[in-house]
Amino acid sequence: MKIFVSYRSVNRALVNQLVTDLGDMEHEVWYDQELEGGQMWWDNILTHIRWCDLLVFALTPQSIESYPCQLEYGYANAVRRHIIPVLLAEGVNYNLLPVLLQERQIINYSERSIDSYKRLASAIRSLPPVPALPDPLPEAPGVPISPLAQVKSQIDNPILEYEQQLALFHQLKSYLQNPDYDGDARLLLERLSEHPMLRASVLRDIEASLKTPPVSRHSTKELRLELDNIFTDLEKQPPSETSKPAQPASQPPAAAQPFAQPPVSSSAQSPAQAESTPPPVPVSAPVFDLDEGETIIKTFSINFNTVGAGGAGLVSGLFTYGVGTVATAVARNAAKRELWLTNKRLVFCARANTEQHIVVPYDQIAEIKKVSKLTDPSIQLKTKGGVEYNFSLVAGAGFLYGNRDELINAVHTLLSERPGQ
């Protein structure tokens, strides 16, 4: 089946997972990945809505408020395409949904699991044949123009009275902290601050507003849920001898040492103190200090298959839904780690303060790709220095192959955002 996915860009990480699953169901999926608008962009979207058999609406609190999304599923209904709303995040008020969406079966995919996967696959299979396009076609909706476009044209007016300046400031201020418009609103506030007729009082208001921290386009709630799930899984693992990482045979020179080691306390306890003091609780959460200004963009739960120079030699075994699952469970648990994508680097993050971190700055990544899909769904990462890392994404954090496409796409996006790339 040909599927068009309608979504809001702030939810792209969740949508990438959904698209991966729809592809695994052997559907032909199209979703807009362009960041720029305009007539040609909008025409392309409308063409693919007419092309599709089914529009899957990625239902989130953000997409419900999206005017372009409303136009997309409204046009799909007008041209007789099937529509299935797929809930990807909590916080949606079903009573306030548009009638067009309330009338349709909503698939809860907020907890991505085998059961939700089967429900979605079954809902798609049960759809009747798609009707023919109406003839003549209904009038296509116009390009959804950003509300900031008109503001920009007003700011560029060489004559701005005080009342106009104040109105523009308050209008732009209302868009701060909005994931879709925060960045552009700040640019326009800076542009307004340079207007030759700007009053001093308005300038002070602009400067005060620009001191507020910009909002991230990534969902903190989604990231926290993923981290909580990973930490819960790790805490369920009983400490054992097999969970201790093997020590590397050799260490790189001190200047090239990429690991952060926590300080070791030199304090000693008396025998009496040792008897009365309970043993320390094993640290299950990752221990890694971010640099100033560094933020976590995305996390993944991973298993090492093989690790290049400077890393611990760990073996996870096969990571598929087969006989190897039970046989290699201990090895996988021993090897399980987290992969962090920050705004500066990629970190194979240890899960305890006795282990080592592997840090790869984005400008040192030479290649990242999928390998051995049928036997061991893995990812291979090579650095410009010739170091190679092979690892599997943990299926518990995703479905089937652990979202390898999502990780690779996220890395490529971050690489493209680096200066000089």
CATH number of 220-244+283-416: 2.30.29.30
pLDDT at 37 (0 to 100): 63
Secondary-structure class of domain 2-125 per CATH: alpha beta
Q: What's 256's DSSP letter?
A: G
pLDDT at 53 (0 to 100): 97
Cβ neighbours of 31 (radius 10 Å): 19
Task: Label residue 231 exposed, middle or buried (CB < 10 Å: 0-12, 13-18, 19+).
Answer: middle
Beta strands in 240-386 (DSSP E): 296-306, 336-342, 345-349, 358-361, 365-371, 378-383
pLDDT at 320 (0 to 100): 32
pLDDT at 325 (0 to 100): 36
The closest of 151, 228, 127, 216 to 180, measured between CA atoms, is: 216
Instruction: Profile the chain (421 residues) by mean pLDDT over runs of 10 residues.
Output: 93 92 95 73 94 97 89 96 95 89 93 93 96 94 82 90 93 83 88 92 92 64 52 56 43 39 41 46 56 86 60 33 37 65 86 70 87 63 83 57 75 76 49
pLDDT at 25 (0 to 100): 95
Q: Prior bond to 158 cis, omega within 30?
A: no
pLDDT at 242 (0 to 100): 42
pTM exceeds 0.75 for this model = no
What is the domain partition of the chain in residue ranges?
A: 2-125, 147-210, 220-244+283-416
Find tokens 């408020």 and name the residue.
65
pLDDT at 34 (0 to 100): 62
CA dist., res. 349 & res. 58, Å (int)? 31
CA distance to 33, 64, 86, 373, per residue, from 57 (Å): 15, 10, 6, 29
pLDDT at 30 (0 to 100): 95
The one-letter amino acid code at 173 reads K
Task: Label residue 100 exposed, middle or buried (CB < 10 Å: 0-12, 13-18, 19+).
Answer: middle
